[in-house]
Chains A and B, each alone.
Chain A
Amino acid sequence: MYVADSRAGSPAPASADGAARPPAGRRRAAVAPTVLALGTVSLVTDVSSEMVTAVLPLYLVAGLGLSPLGFGLLDGIYNGFSALVRLAGGHLADRGGGRHKWVAGLGYGISALCKPLLLLVHSLTPIGLVLAADRTGKGLRTAPRDALISLSSTPESRGRAFGVHRAMDTAGALLGPLVAFLILRATVDGYDAVFTVSFCVAVAGVLILVLFVPGGKRQPAPAEQPERTAHGDRPTLRAAVGLLRRRELRRIAVCALLLGLATVSDSFVYLLLQRRLGVPDRWFALLPLGTAAAFLVLAVPLGRLADRVGRWAVFLAGHVALLLAYALLLTSWHGTALPYAVLLLHGGFYAATDGVLMAAASDGVPEHLRSSGLALVQTGQALARFACSLGFGAAWTVWGDRTALTASTVALAACAAFSLTLRPRDKATA
């Protein structure tokens, strides 16, 4: 898809640090090689991790004979820890003048090492610990990776760069389960083979990162120099927290947080889809694939749209899509097209918000604090979504699913309207 976009003339100019810096006067550059390399790393890593995710229930129940109910109990505690890991990853990556590649590499490496560990542990507690380590690796790498994407692309093409990355990432997530089931088909109880193959794939991902993603110390761009001296903020912990004093980032963080508070978690959306629209049981497991497919298809076009009409507008439009999905779930119309429409809107919501938010936040954070700033926004959003899950579950218990969803819809509409008033004054596109 990016190949078609690079028709604008000469191949992408990649400087030593991998940043595509277009010659003056050129509006659009091809997606930087670093972004494609990171996209490939994410694609390969997602194949690896989704292979494990897809077979894990079967492995626990049929392979090990465990009863996994109540296994999710630690999720709440873990969510808090994961937020800290994410912030730490963001901060560590900024220190020493940009160690993004190595912190991201550490995160990918930890997750890769967890795969052979799954071959060795056979009871719930150690398996839970291995999965927690896997997610720690994911938490650690997310902010540095997104910072690398934003640092490798020009401000005016950032939306597209994130779109390309997210599309590749989602493609991996769709391929992983397929690979896992082909292995299970070729073997008898081949969970060990699934974990071994997953490990090999993950190692390949780490190698692609090490070999093809440029690292090393970044020279701050000339444009950044005066700002840096003026604020005097080196990438310290205090400077990272001090980012919140920046008006633009604060607005973005507050909006992401508020909108996150009204974003019902995916599993509730699928549950509601099934209960309200009577999706047959045999399709239930396919619902997340519908969202992923829409995300995959829409990520690049919506990222490009964000570059053209403004990231903030697309980010808010994504939440309007979610609002429409909620509204469809609340209607009494039970047409056969309804599940497709809801999943399309749900995937569109991710395509319009996930990478686009990172592109928007990148505009408000100086280069030397990029990773910390992105981690801050991501963490705020993740914690808000977690709080929403707890609140939504409680509302469901007290008032029932319809009232809980109505409340979320009203809250989302209010938060979206409020975010509209907070819209940054400057055009989101640089």
Chain B
Amino acid sequence: MTVRNRILVLLSAVVVLAAVAVASVLRASARAERRDRTQAGGPNVTPGTVTLTQPGRMVFRNMAWGPHRDELVAAPATSPSGPRTASGLKCLRFYAASGTGVCLQAVHGPVSDTYRAALLDASLHVRARYDVPGIPSRARVSPSGRFAAWTAFVGGDSYAGTNFSTRTAIADTRTGALTPSLETYRIVKDGRTYHAADVNFWGVTFASDDRTFYATLATQGTTYLIRGDLRSRTVTTLHTNVECPSLSPDGTRIAFKKRVAGLPKDAPWHLYVLNLRTLRETPLAEPRSVDDQAVWRDDHTLVYALPGDYGADLYELPADGTGKPRRISTAAVSPAYVR
């Protein structure tokens, strides 16, 4: 083949390939319009005022298609599938307590997306912003509203991108001081100070004393429940195979997801509750794998998200191993109960 013919072959192939490429991009961008239209039979969403101080409300991220997709909305805590009031503020992950909210958002830059954590006051005004180094995963606020914590996935930089790690940060909303990574805390594992390059933390949950917190620490292929101390900047391992802990309002139990042998690699977790005094585990009556940091609705009931038709749905379940899961809301994630 002459050089001219080769160039012709390449050019015609490039034209075909470019057409396929452009078509795929156009098809994907057409989805945007579809998702901005209100879904038939979906929840009723109207714009309005949302605050973090109206008792009896549940505030969460609305995932229903329509103009208010991904916005924080409020619904009655007793009937979360009822009408939603949309705030206009978009969050990927959210949590709130005592009038303080934390909202993990995407910031669309010119060449790539970045993420940030916005600390919100009771009327959802942003009081402080912090950079988040990766894809937001978990968010929590301490019961008093003083501390906020969040976890992000940080993607690997190896060729095939298979190394992932997590970064967990804690902010003091009163002073503005930020601990960008819990990895700077001293780790006490089995009674001794522990160092490792592969340490990852995720899923902080705060106690009501504004000093103690719990979280998951992973190293050498094992996950641990740790108790952390914000003043001495130390974490101590308590128990193994605990992920995404969530402390009950009375401070006596931890709800968590436990990796159970024999389940598929993508969905290996069952919900459990750990009694912190006896360290006894109680399996909960949810047969499906749950990948969420559960929220305690009260001292006896847990709420968590499972994949649904529009991203995620919320379910509730008794915390003592009895009962059956009940779907309380569709197209919803990241709930916080205003008490």
Contacts and interface: CB of A to CB of B under 8 A. Distances in A.
B221 to A, nearest CB: 7
A94 interface: no
Nearest to B311: A65
Contacts of B156: 57, 72, 267
A128 B6 CA distance: 37
Interface bracket on B: 35 or more
A184 B29 CA distance: 9
A66 B10 contact: no
A203 B31 contact: no
A131 interface: yes
B164 interface: yes
Interface in B15-68: 17-18, 20-21, 24-25, 27-29, 31-32, 35
A190 B25 contact: yes
B131 interface: yes
B28 A193 contact: yes
B197 A271 contact: yes
B195 A400 contact: yes
A207 interface: yes
B177 interface: no
Contacts of A309: none
Contacts of B9: 207, 211
Interface stretch (B73-81, B111-119, B205-213, B248-256): B111-119
Contacts of B112: 177, 181
A392 B197 contact: yes
B35 A282 contact: no
Contacts of B92: 62
Nearest to A265: B158
Contacts of A53: 159-161
A396 B218 CA distance: 15
A397 B161 CA distance: 23
Interface stretch (B133-141, B233-241, B275-283): B133-141
B286 interface: no
A75 B131 CA distance: 30
A134 B160 contact: yes
B13 interface: yes
A262 B253 CA distance: 47
A399 interface: yes
B28 A192 contact: yes
A187 B221 CA distance: 37
Contact of B218 (A62, A69, A200, A270): A69
A188 B218 contact: no
A75 B28 contact: no
19 contacts: A49-B159, A57-B153, A58-B135, A69-B202, A70-B221, A71-B162, A71-B164, A75-B162, A185-B108, A186-B25, A186-B29, A188-B29, A201-B21, A204-B13, A211-B9, A212-B6, A212-B10, A285-B154, A392-B197
Given A268-B197, A396-B196, A399-B195, 14 more contacts: A49-B159, A57-B134, A68-B153, A68-B164, A75-B163, A123-B264, A123-B266, A128-B162, A187-B31, A200-B20, A204-B14, A266-B157, A396-B197, A397-B220
Going nearest first, the 3 A-B pairs with the smallest beta carbon separation are: A57-B155, A281-B133, A187-B28
